[in-house]
Amino acid sequence: MKIIGQHREQRTTVKICEMTERRRLGEVSDKEKSLALHRFQYDFRLDLQNDMKTNRTLDPVT
Protein backbone atom coordinates (compact mmCIF):
# COMPACT_ATOMS: atom_id res chain seq x y z
CA MET A 1 0.00 0.00 0.00
CA LYS A 2 2.87 2.36 0.78
CA ILE A 3 4.26 1.93 -2.74
CA ILE A 4 0.92 2.99 -4.22
CA GLY A 5 0.92 6.10 -2.02
CA GLN A 6 4.46 6.97 -3.06
CA HIS A 7 3.58 6.50 -6.73
CA ARG A 8 0.53 8.75 -6.34
CA GLU A 9 2.62 11.39 -4.59
CA GLN A 10 5.26 11.28 -7.34
CA ARG A 11 2.59 11.44 -10.04
CA THR A 12 0.96 14.43 -8.31
CA THR A 13 4.33 16.18 -8.01
CA VAL A 14 5.03 15.63 -11.70
CA LYS A 15 1.58 16.94 -12.63
CA ILE A 16 2.08 20.08 -10.51
CA CYS A 17 5.49 20.66 -12.12
CA GLU A 18 3.98 20.23 -15.58
CA MET A 19 1.15 22.65 -14.79
CA THR A 20 3.59 25.19 -13.36
CA GLU A 21 5.64 25.04 -16.53
CA ARG A 22 2.56 25.30 -18.73
CA ARG A 23 1.28 28.21 -16.65
CA ARG A 24 4.55 30.01 -17.30
CA LEU A 25 3.89 29.54 -20.97
CA GLY A 26 0.30 30.72 -20.56
CA GLU A 27 -1.19 27.42 -21.75
CA VAL A 28 -3.17 26.40 -18.67
CA SER A 29 -6.83 27.27 -18.87
CA ASP A 30 -8.74 28.75 -15.93
CA LYS A 31 -10.76 25.53 -15.73
CA GLU A 32 -7.61 23.44 -15.28
CA LYS A 33 -6.32 25.86 -12.64
CA SER A 34 -9.54 25.79 -10.63
CA LEU A 35 -9.83 21.99 -10.82
CA ALA A 36 -6.23 21.51 -9.67
CA LEU A 37 -6.71 24.01 -6.84
CA HIS A 38 -9.89 22.23 -5.73
CA ARG A 39 -8.09 18.86 -5.68
CA PHE A 40 -5.16 20.33 -3.76
CA GLN A 41 -7.43 21.91 -1.14
CA TYR A 42 -9.42 18.67 -0.81
CA ASP A 43 -6.24 16.60 -0.38
CA PHE A 44 -4.99 19.09 2.20
CA ARG A 45 -8.25 18.80 4.17
CA LEU A 46 -7.99 14.99 4.12
CA ASP A 47 -4.40 15.20 5.37
CA LEU A 48 -5.47 17.57 8.14
CA GLN A 49 -8.34 15.28 9.15
CA ASN A 50 -6.02 12.27 9.23
CA ASP A 51 -3.48 14.20 11.30
CA MET A 52 -6.19 15.18 13.78
CA LYS A 53 -7.42 11.57 14.01
CA THR A 54 -3.92 10.28 14.72
CA ASN A 55 -3.06 13.31 16.88
CA ARG A 56 -0.13 14.35 14.69
CA THR A 57 0.88 17.98 14.38
CA LEU A 58 3.61 19.82 12.55
CA ASP A 59 4.89 21.46 15.75
CA PRO A 60 4.42 19.05 18.64
CA VAL A 61 4.42 20.59 22.09
CA THR A 62 7.24 19.17 24.20
Condensed to tens digits (0 to 9), the pLDDT of residues 1-38 reads 455 556 566 677 777 777 777 766 666 667 776 777 77
Residues comprising the chain, all counted = 62
- Angle ∠(44,5,33) on CA atoms, nearest 5: 45
pTM (predicted TM-score): 0.29
Q: What is the mean pLDDT of residues 32-57?
A: 68
- The range of the structural domain enclosing residue 39 comes to 2-53
Question: Which pLDDT score is estimated for 18?
Answer: 76
In-domain check, residue 6: yes
- The CA distance from 57 to 25, in Å, is 37
Question: Contact at 8 Å (CB) between 25 and 42?
Answer: no
Q: What is the mean pLDDT of residues 31-51?
A: 69
Question: Which pLDDT score is estimated for 55?
Answer: 63
In-domain check, residue 61: no
Q: How many domains does the chain have?
A: 1
